[in-house]
Amino acid sequence: MSDAGQTLAGETFAGKVVVITGASAGIGSGFARHAAELGMRLVLADIAAERLTALAEELRASGAEVEPVVTDVSDPLSVDALADRAYDRFGAVDMLINNAGIMAMGYSWEIPAERWDAALRINIGGYVNGIRSFVPRLLEQSTRSWVLNVSSVGGLLPSPLMAPYSVTKFGTLALTESLAYELQMRQAPVQVSVVLPDSVKSEIFRAARPGDGIPPEIAGFNEQLQQRADTQGITPEEHARRVFEQAAEGRYWITPQPEMIDAALQPRTDMILSRTNPGLDLGGV
C-alpha cells in the first residue's frame, strides 16, 4: 500500500469513534491496534473479558481513548447495551466493524447441533444485531459513517470440513450487499463495505480443532490451514492497515490480499458459468 493510502486513512479516521466486535484477539485486535495508531477513539467488544481488559490497558498505555465492553454479540440486548455504552462515552459512533466470529470443523453431518447453532447465532446473528443496534443511530446522526462486515475468502469459496464457517461467511456477503442497497435507497451517508481476508496470522484453526480422536483427514486439513496462516498469512495489524486504507478510498469490496482471492475466484466463476459439477482434488486418494 502507498504512503498516500496511509495518509488518506489518517486524515479520514483520526478522531473518529469506532466500535469493533471480537476485538480481543486475531483480526479484531489488529483492527483495534491500528485504529489507535490512526488516532481513533475505540469501543472494544468481546465476550472474553480478561483478554479484552488486557488489550484495553495496552492501548490506553499508548495514549488511546478506549471503552471496553464485555458483549455477547448473539444476544440482541447485549449489543443494545454496547451501543448505549458507546454513545454514553463518546456521544457518537462513526464506524462499526462487525468482526466477531467462531469456526467449527468436521463433516457437516457430524458437527454437533449446538456448534452449528452457535456459528449461526454469532457469525450471522451477531452481525444482524450490530446492524439493528447501530444503523438507526447512524441514520439519525446524518453524518458520514462506515459499516464494515468481515466475511472471508471463505465467503466466496466453499470449503469441505468447515461448512458452518462457509455458510455464515456466504451469508455475510448477502447481508452486507442487502444493507448497502438499503442505505442507497435511503440516500444515507453511510458507507458499507464487506471485508474479505485470506490468510492472517492467528490461532483460529488451532482454536477450531475438534479435539482428540478426530479422523486423520480432518486433523490434517486443520493443520494444513493453520500452517498456511502461519507461513503465508499477513499480521493482523498489516491486515487492518490495508482495510482502513481501502475503506478510506470508499471501496465496497475490501480485499486486503487481492492476489490470493483473484487466483481462486476466476476458476470458481468459470465453473459456475460452465455449469461444471464441483470436484475436489483428493491428491490421488
Question: Catalytic residue positions?
Answer: 165
Q: Alpha-carbon distance 127 to 149, whole Å?
A: 7
φ and ψ of 97, to 5 deg: -115, 105
CA 48 from centre of chain: 17
Q: Alpha-carbon distance 1 to 276, whole Å?
A: 37
Q: Locate 266 and state its grid cell.
A: 476466476
User: In the chain, count of helices (H) and strands (E)?
Assistant: 11, 7
Coil vs helix vs strand at 18:
strand
Q: Alpha-carbon distance 233 to 227, whole Å?
A: 9
Give the dihedral sign, CA 260/270/108/285.
negative
φ and ψ of 186, to 5 deg: -85, -5
With helix as H, strand as E and coil as C, how does 19-67 read?
A: EEECCCCHHHHHHHHHHHHCCCEEEEEECCHHHHHHHHHHHHHCCCCEE
The answer to whether 134 and 92 are in contact (CB under 8 A) is: no
